[in-house]
Amino acid sequence: MSKVIKSFSLDIETVRILEEYCSSSDNWDKTISRSKTVNDAIVWFLGGDTAELVHNNERLMDAVRRANVELMVPKQRDLPWWRRLLLGR
């Protein structure tokens, strides 16, 4: 497998998570480089099933938000004919 060196920017929180993960002896095999860890994480996340799961989760959360907004908006009740007549509706 050929390797291409390309640089990307990571935010400080992502670097902290990577350093924490790589410094923990429980999670990380010391023979694996940080670059391979990042590469494997990107392939896992963007390759196929995981990306679809994330997309489906975002769509589900949007649907839940919309449903919550609809539930919070009070619906007008159908008033009896005599109340509508008195109120001028």
Side chain identity at residue 34, one-letter code: R
Q: How far apart are CA 39 and CA 42, in angstroms?
A: 5
Mean pLDDT score of the chain:
82
Average pLDDT over residues 55-81: 85
The per-residue pLDDT for range 10-51, each reduced to its tens digit, is 899 999 988 888 887 666 677 778 888 888 888 877 777 777
Is residue 87 within 8 Å of residue 79, measured between CB atoms? yes
Q: How far apart are CA 77 and CA 89, in angstroms?
A: 12
Residue 1 pLDDT class (50, 70, 90 cuts): low
Is residue 48 within 8 Å of residue 54, measured between CB atoms? no
